[in-house]
Amino acid sequence: SQPCWNEYLTTRIEQNMVVSCTCPISECHAQPTAAFIYSIVSSEETIAKYEKALLRGYVECCSNLTWCTNPQGCDQILLKDGLGYGAACSKCSWISCFSCNFPEAHYPASCSHMSHMTCAKCNHGFCWRCLKPWRPTHKDYYNCSAMVSKAAWQKKRFQDYNERCTFHHHAREFAMNLRNRVSSIREIAKMRTLTFVLDACKVLEQARKVLAYSCVYSYYNQDIESIDIVEQQTESLELHTNAL
């Protein structure tokens, strides 16, 4: 009956299982069509959830489509082939990386740089950003039998780069918050002269982002000549960024 189908389909939609659901009769493997669902389900809210589920299923099936990875939340669909480094989401301006699971473009650090850190002696992994264990079940977090002197040097080197990386991420958040506050003031006071401040904040955000990921790149880079050049360029960029 229609009430039974309505309850069944509504439940499947609420459980995000409608795309793969079949007839409730165990011997029948037929899937309800979109036209059938529209004719049975009357709730506009439920239909909206159904249409979102269809869209999610379509995006997941298309290898050249993906969702914007902005951690603040964005429902924009991106075309991988048409959005490379330097181009931003048309809705929120977030720049995504399509080659790894890291939530944003991370130039100059490579995708392999953005994977979790791993100790060469005990294979313990931990997160670059928060320093928490990559695997929560690893109990001997600080218990590693590697050589103390080498481990101490490596730990100091990691701490130095991590502190710099963390500083630039915090400074980037400051620039983003400043841009939001200035934008609100301009809208209330209708002051077009504040546009240059907004542009400056955007430049600050991008510069801090590059400086943060330069720390990751430099930490992994083993080429002494190359790292000297990168450090010089990074120092110059940081000097001008601080001035701005």
Dump pLDDT digits (tens) for 137-179.
434 333 444 444 556 667 777 888 888 888 999 999 999 999 8
CB 6 within 8 A of CB 41: yes
Whether residue 218 is predicted with pLDDT greater than 60 in this model: the reply is yes
**Domain residues for 3?**
1-59
DSSP per-residue string spanning the chain = -HHHHHHHHHHHHHTT-STT---SSTT--PPPPHHHHHHH---HHHHHHHHHHHHHHHHHH-TTEEE---TT----EEEGGG--TT---TTT-----SSSSSSS--TTS-TTTTSPEE-TTT--EE-TTT--BSSTT---SS---S-HHHHHHHHHHHHHHHHHHHHHHHHHHHHHHHHHHHHHHHHHHT-GGGHHHHHHHHHHHHHHHHHHHHHHHHHH---HHHHHHHHHHHHHHHHHHHH-
Domain assignment present for 149 = yes
The answer to whether residues 121 and 217 belong to one domain is: yes
Winning range, highest mean pLDDT, from 5-19, 182-196, 222-236: 5-19
Regarding whether 232 and 215 lie in a shared domain, the answer is yes
For residue 8, the tally of other CB atoms under 10 A from its CB is 16
Is there a single domain that holds both residue 149 and residue 202?
yes
Per residue in 10-36, pLDDT (tens digit) is 888 888 888 888 888 878 888 888 899
Q: 77 with 132, same domain?
A: no
Is position 110 within any domain? no
44-49 mean pLDDT: 90
For residue 208, the model assigns a pLDDT of: 93
End-to-end CA distance of the chain: 69
Which residue would you say has higher pLDDT here, 170 or 187? 170
Residues 68 and 135 in one domain: no
Same domain flag for 138 and 239: yes
| Domains contained in the chain, number | 3
Q: Could you tell me what percent of the chain has a pLDDT over 90?
A: 10
pLDDT of residue 151: 63
pTM over 0.75: no
- Do 236 and 194 sit in the same domain of this protein? yes
Q: Are residues 212 and 142 in the same domain?
A: yes
Q: Tell me which of 227 and 179 has the higher pLDDT.
A: 179
